[in-house]
Amino acid sequence: RIKLKQKYEGDELWVQLHDSVRKKNVFIIQSLCPPINKNLIELLLTISAMRRADAAKIVAVIPYFAYSRHVQISEASNRSTLAAADIAALLQAAGCDRVITLDFHVPQIEGFYTGSCPVDNIQCSELCINYFKDHVKLSDFIIVSPDQKMNSTALNLRNSFADLQVPASVASIVQSKKGKGKKQGIELQYIGESPEGKDVLIIDNIIDRAGTLDRTVNYMKHMGANRIYVFAVHGLFTAGSMKLIEEAMVNEVVVTNTIPFDDESGRIRQISAGRVLADVIAKTNRKMGGSESA
């Protein structure tokens, strides 16, 4: 049990442990969803408190890892942050021994962590496969990657569906900027089997403002796709995204519950990633040689 409260005026946080964690493996579950910076500070202070309380190993379980899109210095200036690396440094400085997360936006983020703090970047492919195989019953459909970053995920999903005797093909969309200034737009190019008359499953890592989702869905519908579904691991759903989803020609948008949200659209379905995380936590605890954990 943890007591977490505002210690002084000015939103300063204070963490106190009510139970002993001495020589125990500790798993701290904290999603870095909005309010992101408050949740990050809570996590860092809790890790620090566990370290001071002489925990054996401290594992940060972060279902949604904010700042994972900040992985390169701005092309316009080298006087900018590399936030994904900075967060990695903060976690390790606080005393974190291991990180478990679901679907980093860019897998290379693991390189920001030293060998003393390994990262388990868990993919949610199984959740996607089980849902669309059992509930939607897709067959002979097209898995569409909305950009190059999702191409390998699309191929892995296709192979996993094939192992279950569910035929699917893979297609990719290349998005490129066209024009300049206020007249700048985004041009889409489809590479793959024609979607005309076929069901389509668009996969992505995160839905933020839903701009990519909206463009891709409308483009696929324009090319003659039949039913269109979207699967994304993280549903951030920032301002305006719900309206875009409601107006898009999409049958259903499926996300996991790494980020809590109030569903304002009947087209969004949230599925639990709890079992995936529970299995990984149990395996990690056994690997660390701990029978007791907190």
Question: Which residues form the catalytic set?
Answer: 178
CB 4 within 8 A of CB 38: no
Contacts of 263 (CB under 8 A, 6+ apart): 270
b (16+ CB within 10 A) / e for 245-256: beebebebbbbb
For residue 175, what are its two tokens?
Answer: 């998005």
Please name every residue paired with 191 in a beta bridge, in sequence order, or none if there are none. Answer: 172
**Concatenated DSSP letters for 19-68?**
S--BT-EEEEE----SSHHHHHHHHHHHHHHHHHTTBSEEEEEESS-TTT
For tokens 């839903």, the residue is 210
For tokens 């300063």, the residue is 12
Q: Around Cβ 75, how many Cβ atoms within 10 Å?
A: 7
**Concatenated DSSP letters for 123-156?**
--HHHHHHHIIIII---SEEEEESSGGGHHHHHH
